[in-house]
Amino acid sequence: MPDVHSLVNEFVIKLKKRKIEGSKATAKLTVELLRSFISQQRLPHSNQAAALIDAVKAVGEKLIAANPVELAVGNVVRRVLHIIREEDLSLATAAVGGLSLAAESDDEDDIDRDDHPVLSATAVAAAARNALRPPSLQTLLEDIPHSAAAPHTSSSGGDSEGKSKSADKNSVTRKLKHNVIEAVNELIQEISTCHEQIAEQAVEHIHQNEVILTLGSSRTVMEFLCAAKEKKRSFRVFVEGAPRYQGHALAKELAARGLQTTVITDSSVFAMISRVNMVIVGAHAVMANGGVIAPVGLNMVALAAQRHAVPFVVLAGVHKLCPLYPHNPEVLLNELKSPSELLDFGEFSDCLDFGSGTGSPLLHVVNPVFDYVPPNLVSLFITDTGGHNPSYMYRLIADYYSADDLVVRRKSAS
């Protein structure tokens, strides 16, 4: 499949050159690439899921290495891996359910069946899904004994490959790939509509006459604010910019949409925060501990908000949830941009001169892109699945990723 590989390589180069910016765009492109990769992947008859996982992992590793700071790539790769596992599992359980249903009709007594003699194959499949899906209040209230069913299904999932082999091979083969692509399509849909789902919750959080501060330029934040505006809530927004001045563009757009907008400088955040009712920002990535990787300057905003007891709300699509725990994120998960954003080379050419004899320039310019906001500074995360506490993020993340995929690296054996 040279065409897919060339696509992958092209994407890798783009990532390396930082041609793709923004976690959402990156995530979308990554997942689309993976979809086409999966659809072109030829799978062996046996052990399909493992083969597919290995193949995706190989590509994912490349993509992640291309831009390790863009955590969305890794997130999406892990999501796809998780989807494959999930689909495989549900297929297997369906097969198992079908088998056991047949066995039941044959009056073959099974110990498992003793507990739940009336369980149908669909119920088993649903239970299998429930084991993978986030536990919601709904499942708690619905009297599905998934707590009992889960161990069965997971155990049956473990030997699913052997069982699936025994099932109709052709249909399962096609079905896995088909299901995976279906699920990946869902994921794409989810990524592209996440800001709508987040924006739906705006009314619950923004009240009349509020003053809201935001930083940087985030599509999600903009949609969120505009959604509140559409619900006839009037408020004013503070935005700001340096050093990339994305806030200017956001301000312009907000004003064009009829929102009262005031642009302030980053440095006056502390001065203004006492009159702000809420800080709403977008994130670059949300780590498993609830910490946020965000545009530079956000830590300052979060601190100021904490000082003045202003709620600090982070909007994040699910694709921004990263299953990794940050270690020294200010340095290790950061990137340095060109100094030209901070100063004029013409003006500072003397200081930047390397030929001054000492060999080292007198002036160093540090222009980091990201900032790390520790979880204790965040009041609330709003994702497309609702609002969550920072301390709950690890659980939410665990629902979307499989623990086996946290390290996306092909096993040396395979």
Q: Which chain residues interact with another protein by CB under 8 A?
A: 236, 238, 241-243, 245, 248-249, 251-252, 254-256, 258-272, 274-275, 296-297, 299-300, 303-304, 307, 330-331, 334, 341-344, 347, 366-368, 371
Contacts of 304 (CB under 8 A, 6+ apart): 269, 270, 273, 310
For 23, residues 6+ apart whose C-beta sits below 8 A from its C-beta are 70, 71, 72, 284, 285, 319, 320
**Residue 52 Cβ, how far from another protein at the closest point, in Å?**
40
Query: Helices 219-230 and 246-256 sit at what angle, rounded to 10 degrees?
Result: 20
Burial 75-89 (b: 16+ CB within 10 A, else e): bbbbbbbbbbbbbbb
Closest CA to 74 of 411, 397, 412: 397
Instruction: Tell me the CB-side half-sphere exposure of residue 185, using CA atoms within 13 A.
Output: 7
Quick one: 123 or 300, whose CB is closer to another protein?
300
Written as one letter, the residue type at 61 is E
Compare residues 166 and 328 and give the one whose CB is closer to another protein.
Answer: 328
Smallest distance from another protein to CB 377, Å: 9
**CB closer to another protein out of 33 and 276:** 276
Q: How far is the CB of 241 from another protein (least distance, A)?
A: 8
| Closer residue to another protein (CB): 7 or 69 | 69
Least Cβ distance, residue 272 to another protein (angstroms): 7
Q: How far is the CB of 51 from another protein (least distance, A)?
A: 43
Token digits of residue 221: 């934040």
Decide: 49 and 163 in contact? Cβ < 8 Å. Answer: no
Shortest distance, position 170 Cβ to another protein, whole Å: 57
Q: How far is the CB of 315 from another protein (least distance, A)?
A: 21
Cβ nearer to another protein, comparing 87 with 266:
266
Instruction: Choose between 238 and 381: whose C-beta lies nearer to another protein.
Output: 238
Asked if 290 and 357 touch (Cβ cutoff 8 Å), the reply is: no
CA 350 and chain centroid, separation: 44
- Sign of torsion over alpha carbons 152, 155, 158, 162: negative
109 vs 347, beta carbon nearer another protein:
347
Query: Are the CB atoms for 63 and 55 separated by under 8 Å?
Result: no
